[in-house]
Amino acid sequence: MSRTWLRLSSIAAVLALLLAACVGDNGGGPAASGAAASGAPASGAAASGAPASGAAPSAAGAKGAIKIWYSNNAEEVTWGKAVVAAWNKDHPDEQVTGEEIPAGKTSEEVIGASITAGNTPCLIFNTSPAAVPQFEKQGGLVALDSFPDGASYIKDRSGALADQYKFTDGKYYQMPWKTNPVMIFYNKTIFAKAGLPTDNPPLKTYDEFLATAKTLVAKGGVQAAIWPSPSADFYQPWFDFYPLFIAQSGGKQLVEGGAPQFTSPDGLAVAAFWKSLYDGNLVPKEAYTGDSFADQKAAMAIVGPWAIAAYGTKVKWGAVPVPTKDGKDPKDIHTFSDEKSIGMYSSCKNLGTAWDFLKFSTSKDNDGQLLTLTGQMPMRTDVAATYPDYFKAHPEYTAFADQASRTVEVPSVPNSVEMWQTFRTAYSESVIFGKTPIDQAFKTAADKIKTLVSGN
Amino acid sequence: MATSVTTERAAPRVDRPEPAGRMSWRRVPGLAALMLGALLFLFPFYYMVVGALQREPNSDISGAFPNPANLTFANFADINAQVDLVRTLINSGIFTGGVLLATFFIGLLAGYALAQLDFRGRSVVFNTMLLILVLPFQLFMIPLYVLIVRTYGLADSYLGMILPFAVNATAVFIFRQFFLQLPRDLFDYARIDGASELMILRRIAIPLARPAIITAMIVTFIGPWNEFLWPFLITKQHDLQPLAVALANYISTVAARATNPFGSILAGAVVLAVPAVVVFVIFQRQFIESNLGSGVKG
Amino acid sequence: MAVVAAGHGGRMRRLFGRDPIGYAFVAPYVLFLAGLFAYPLLVALYISFFDYFFAAPGAHVARPFVGLDNYAAVLSDPVFQRSILNVAEFILINVPLTVLLSLVLASALNAKLPFRTFFRVAYYIPYVTASVAVIGVWLWLFSGGGLLNGVLGPLAPSPSWLVNDVLAMPVIALVVTWKQLGFYVILYLAALQNIPRELYEASEVDGAGVVRRFTAITVPGVRPVTTLVVILATIVGANLFTEPYLLTGGGGPNGASMSPVLLMYQQGIEQGHAGYAAAIGTVLAIVVMAISAFNRFVLERE
């Protein structure tokens, strides 16, 4: 059996090589670059962050069966299956098949590989905004503006916050779906043990926070006041530096208009604050396997409401906005959105159905379902007012609904992953391990990042 | 180190030097060291099993010696509820089995040829095999994926999972090195007698290389058994996914759900490890002498 | 003893070697390699000369030819240089330790011991268990508040093992040696089956002690497998990915435990610079092939 198959496959391989060598636009093979690279790129913008034209929306009207991916988080799966079933009942000719993929780093690898192979599903419901520029560069995403009601639908649903999700060319390559505004969770039992007030804990200013942290470690019986992961992955800043920076700077992104913002006095203040926590041994420099807050090794956590389901009855928690240097009115505090988007991918044949399903799954009802089942905030204007019943039944989520209107996203710029990695390396060596002075490390990182986001 | 002891022992004795299981004083320190080493090696696995059995996570030192009241099979039940253990085990079996078959038939031939048959271009093949071994999988991953999914159209299939792993280069290397240990004379006698190469391989080489084959099979087993990324790339359909994939998916979602998340991860790891250990225990018995000496006796 | 090769004609013999049937035997394997790895290998080599990233089929993207720029950037990248040093350090610790320990252990486990199966399984188990689970245990052992530091007390290094510039890599080397040992032990176990018991018996009759028997019979007897062990251990060391990835999360403090393949992963898959990653891979492969060739030369000399 194996010999014949191998012979066939070797013939196929030789043919594949020949094909790849001769035919022009085979994106995954060497030939494409051969064709495109002869001389300077034809359109001058091509070398920079200008979008690669993926599948032209000539199939924009096409309807038929589509496939979608959503995360394998149990509640999201429940939601996903329900939405798909409801759609399929009413659309026998446009059946939707749902599959699960794990959220997180692996999902980016898988999506990237699928884009190259051309077998991405029509919609992926857990696309990370930081990955969108790269997928777009690969020509894997469809600009939602190409649908007549594309941009208007997104703006109507998400309001002013939608602007952060446009790419440098002003188009929407992702639809903002759900947000998990990052706040500070604190363990009421441990706070009580340490003699701290549990109903309005002193966590507003950096000085207060630092003092509280010291008390917690000294008297609260915990190893750490708070335990953000110190590892060097590119996305870690989203859960230590970035939320505080956003709050302190009144809503700035890491980079705005091509210029790094984190070297401002605000950025340096945030970094200095974290450093003081590390220097005081209030925050460990090693990672914890598991959830330190749920395991009660840390008195606080900096995370979004998705974690509530995990803490459940294990921990008596409360939530406050992230601290700022001199304290601000909670109504003025912005934070990181930890948002996930929905992407429509260029390998999709039936773009019409995909767009219709996209609108269906983000309708008021289905967004409400999402909220009820998962506790994550759909990216809608004024969530609290739209779903009053839910918030009456779950008052602990109201703080998050309120915070959700003041969230800031990662900058939608070229080379965004590399930008975050560069930042993380600088932060790690200066703030966590104290090997270089902060302003020096940040300056070097800022110079590098400036070049990266300009698209070169 | 031959000393005057020689004269004492000149007359051949009937009894063997160290009869089975006999404990002489000389052996105690060696045995003790071995035991200590074994315990050291086993400890993390023991800790893993203990952690998997705990209801409440206990990551202190005392966690290694758990309170019996804290022990439960709940973590395993959690996994069983989320992951169809039977189906995924079958998938793992098919995936691993396919690889083992391909490696045995194709790899053994190649290993033998590389060691004992003299043909022009032999070192080219050997060096290519070495190159494949040397290069990290991450380098190949995406073009290989494109090749298998687009050119061969094998997405969502067992064959697509099996193909890149089909002939394990390490196994071929092992076969070659072991066949190198065998003297060429052995085969030449048979050739003189008119035996065909294939018959030589079947009747002489393979029985002699039995330990090597077992070793290579054990080694080839581990790769696909523990492999997560490739099968996951190939298919998202649950009923085709092997156990390692299902467990990895479970681990990535478990934090939000289980009573003892770390315990559940460990439970998953135990489930994945047990069949591999069982396979080893069964096959390591094959490591008995093949008594090569008698093969060349005049 | 002179040997007559039956049936192979004179001229064909010179052209194709003594046993042209060898071609038939390797054919399936060669076809497998050609059918599966030829394309990816060529692609990897090709893209290393371009500012390349993988794109959707049909996408019009610019991937300019950059010649040796990727290689120049790789070789002058301090992170890459550090990663090569890390891997060299790893290999220097891991390979000799592995060869020595696994051969000694295999010899011990080959003898007729009480509880032999138990011992064999004990030493093999780490190899079988998935890294993800084992890492948890090692983190627990080596972390700042972990077992080892608890035992060492005031002697514990500060910063603690895994976040220590100098100690991170040796710790990883130890962990990986421990984990991989089972594999090499069974390799040697298998090799030892082919050493005739008569040799040991005869030498014991001659009065040779345990050590002498080991160095005079065992070591030479398993030489081809020693080559195998050294080369495989070197390759595994050079391709180190999982342990730095899991143990020190993305390369440790200041890249103290960054490995070339981890860097390749970050650059190629996380950040989409496939051409740059391919250059890293090619450089790494050249280095490893060189080391392997050297090892083989030293070990396979007759």
Q: Is the ipTM above a cut-off of 0.85?
A: no
With respect to residue B236, please indicate whether it lies within any of the assigned structural domains.
Answer: yes
Task: Please provide the CATH number assigned to the domain covering A57-179+339-400.
Answer: 3.40.190.10
- CB count, 10 Å around CB of A402? 17
Count CB pairs under 8 A between chains B and C: 303
Computed over every residue of chain B, the mean pLDDT equals: 77
The answer as to whether B63 is a domain residue is no
CA distance A391 to A408: 23
User: Which two structure tokens, joined as six digits, stand for A228?
Assistant: 């953000």
**CATH topology identical between A57-179+339-400 and A183-336+414-453:** yes
pLDDT reading at A42 higher than 50: no
Nearest partner of A134 among A153, A163, A112, judged by Cα? A112
> Is the CB of A392 inside 8 Å of chain C's CB atoms?
no
User: How does strand A175-179 pair with strand A96-101?
Assistant: unpaired
Q: Cα–Cα distance between A44 and C237 in angstroms, integer?
A: 44
Distance from the Cα of residue B207 to its chain's centroid: 20
From chain C, the residues in CB contact with A16 under 8 A are: 39
Instruction: Identify the residue among C1, C13, C26 best suited for mutation to test binding to B, counting B beta carbons within 10 A and taking the highest.
Output: C26
Per CB-CB distance under 8 Å, the chain B contacts of A69 are 236
According to the model, what pLDDT value does residue B216 have? 87
pLDDT tens, position by position, A372-401: 998 889 999 888 899 999 999 998 899 999
At C30-67, the pLDDT tens digits run: 999 998 998 898 988 899 998 888 888 888 888 888 88
In a domain, B74, yes or no: no
What pLDDT, on a 0 to 100 scale, did the predictor assign at position A104? Answer: 66
Contact A2 B106 (CB under 8 A): yes
Task: Choose the weakest-confidence range: A303-317, B106-120, B278-292.
Answer: B278-292
Q: Choose among A406, A351, A451: nearest CA to A49.
A: A451
Angle in degrees, CA A155, A372, A292, rounded to 5: 100
| pLDDT tens-place string over residues A301-342 | 999 988 887 787 788 999 999 999 998 999 999 999 999 999
pLDDT tens track for B179-229: 887 888 888 888 888 878 788 888 888 888 887 888 888 889 888 998 888
pLDDT of the residue at C145: 66
Looking at per-residue confidence, does A323 or A456 come out higher?
A323
CA torsion angle for A414, A415, A419, A422 (degrees, to 10)? Answer: -160
Q: Residue A143 class from Cβ within 10 Å (0-12 exposed, 13-18 middle, 19+ buried)?
A: buried
pLDDT at B100: 94
Q: Say which residue, C184 or C224, is predicted with more confidence.
A: C184
Check whether A440 has a pLDDT greater than 50.
yes
Residue B186 lies in a domain: yes
Q: Where are the domains of chain A?
A: 57-179+339-400, 183-336+414-453
- State whether residue A1 sits within 8 Å of chain C by CB: no
ω into residue A51 within 30 of 0, thus cis?
no
Instruction: Determine the pLDDT at residue C124.
Output: 84
Percent of chain B with pLDDT over 70: 78
Q: Is A296 in the B-facing interface, judged by CB distances under 8 Å?
A: no
Percent of chain C with pLDDT over 90: 17
Contact residues, A window 76-135, toward C, CB-based 8 Å cutoff: 105, 108-109, 112-113, 115-118, 134
* pLDDT score for A59: 52
Provide, as residue numbers in chain B, all residues whose Cβ is less than 8 Å from the Cβ of A113: 141-142, 145, 233
Q: Which domains does chain C have, with CATH numbers?
A: 69-300 (1.10.3720.10)
pTM: 0.82
Please indicate whether, in this complex, the C-beta atoms of B197 and C113 are within 8 angstroms of each other.
no
What integer pLDDT is reported at residue B58 of this predicted model?
Answer: 60
Test the C interface: residue of B22, B35, B41, B170 with most C CBs within 10 Å? B41
Q: Is the pLDDT of residue C75 over 70?
A: yes
C-beta neighbour count of A177 within 10 angstroms: 24
Tokens of A209: 């926070």
* pLDDT value for C14: 66
Question: Nearest residue of A to residue C164 by CA position?
Answer: A433
Write phi, then psi, for A377 (nearest 5 degrees).
Answer: -80, 120
> Looking at the 3D structure of chain B, how many domains does it have?
1
Query: If you measure CA to CA, which chain B residue comes closest to C277?
Result: B139
For range A239-265, the mean pLDDT? 94
Contact B229 A306 (CB under 8 A): no
Instruction: Give the integer Cα–Cα distance in Å for C250 and C255.
Output: 8
List the structure tokens of B92. Answer: 């793992």
pLDDT tens profile A135-147: 999 999 999 999 9
Residues A43-66 have pLDDT tens digits of 333 333 334 444 444 556 789 999
C10 pLDDT tier (thresholds 50, 70, 90): low
Query: Which domain, by its residues, includes B188?
Result: 83-289
Query: What's the pLDDT at A60?
Result: 65
Amino acid occupying residue C49: F
CB pairs under 8 A between A and C: 187
Measured between CA atoms, how close is A83 to chain C, in angstroms?
A: 29
- Whether B150 contacts chain A with CB within 8 A: yes
Cβ proximity of A375 and A306 under 8 Å: yes
- Rounded CA-CA distance C249/C266 in Å is 12
Alpha helix stretches (DSSP H) within chain B:
5-8, 27-53, 74-82, 85-102, 108-116, 122-134, 137-146, 158-162, 169-181, 184-192, 197-200, 206-208, 210-226, 229-234, 243-254, 261-284, 293-296
Among B105, B149, B167, most A C-beta atoms within 10 A, so best to mutate, is B149
Which of A253-262, B66-75, B197-206 is the most confident on average? A253-262
What value does the mean pLDDT of chain A take?
84
Write out chain B residues lying below 8 Å of A74, CB-based: 82, 253, 256-257
How far does B183 lie from chain A, in Å, by closest CA?
30
pLDDT at A107: 81
pLDDT tens-digit map of A62-117? 899 999 999 888 888 999 999 999 999 999 999 999 998 876 667 888 898 899 88
Cβ proximity of C254 and C165 under 8 Å: yes
Q: Domain spanning A183-336+414-453: which CATH class is it, in words?
A: alpha beta
Q: Is the dihedral of CA C11, C15, C21, C24 positive or negative?
A: negative
Of the residues B99, B119, B214, the best mutation for testing chain C's interface (the one with the most C CB atoms within 10 Å of its CB) is: B119
Residue C9 has pLDDT above 60, yes or no: no
Residues in Cβ contact with C124 at an 8 Å cutoff, skipping those fewer than 6 apart: B277, B280, B284, C182, C185, C186
Given this model, what pLDDT does residue A300 score? 95
Residue B259 sits in a domain whose CATH number is 1.10.3720.10
The stretch C202-214 carries a mean pLDDT of 81
- Is pLDDT of C115 > 50? yes
CB proximity under 8 Å: B 197-216 to C: 197, 208, 211-212, 214-215
Contact by Cβ (8 Å): B284, C117: yes
Residue C242 is predicted with a pLDDT of 82
- Rounded to the nearest angstrom, the minimum Cα separation between B196 and chain C is 10
Residue A181: the pLDDT is: 94
Residue B155 has pLDDT above 60, yes or no: yes
